[in-house]
């Protein structure tokens, strides 16, 4: 199972997030994507984090030069917090 990922945003608080390469995407309550880069965060995961999740906390660093041209496509909305969404197979109960 994939670890939960959380970005801590100063405007919205903890948000579901996903890392793709060096991009960190979060899903704001408005449904819009927040797109930042790994150098802008301190990353805490594993044994340092008791909830077994990856946490991205802003560290006041600026994005690396050229990041404004980043064209990584964000993940689908349902990828941000898989336990909150039904599986693609629909997980139907087949009791007889």
Q: For 52, which DSSP code?
A: S
Number of residues that this document lists for the chain: 96
pTM, 2 dp: 0.76
pLDDT digits (tens, 9 = 90+) for 48-63: 555 678 999 999 999 9
pLDDT digits (tens, 9 = 90+) for 14-68: 999 999 999 999 998 888 999 999 999 999 986 555 567 899 999 999 999 999 9
Ramachandran quadrant class, 22 (left: phi over 0; alpha: psi -120 to 50; beta: rest): alpha
Q: What local confidence, expressed as pLDDT, does residue 50 receive?
A: 55
């Amino acid at each position: 199972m994939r670890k939960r990922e959380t970005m801590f945003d100063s405007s919205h608080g903890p948000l579901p997030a996903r890392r793709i390469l060096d991009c960190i995407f979060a899903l704001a309550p408005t449904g819009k994507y927040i797109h930042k880069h790994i150098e802008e965060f301190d990353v805490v995961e594993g044994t340092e984090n008791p909830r077994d999740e990856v946490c991205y906390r802003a560290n006041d660093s600026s994005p690396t030069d050229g990041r404004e041209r980043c064209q990584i496509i964000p993940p689908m909305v349902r990828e941000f917090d898989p336990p909150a969404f039904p599986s693609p197979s629909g997980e139907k109960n087949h009791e007889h």
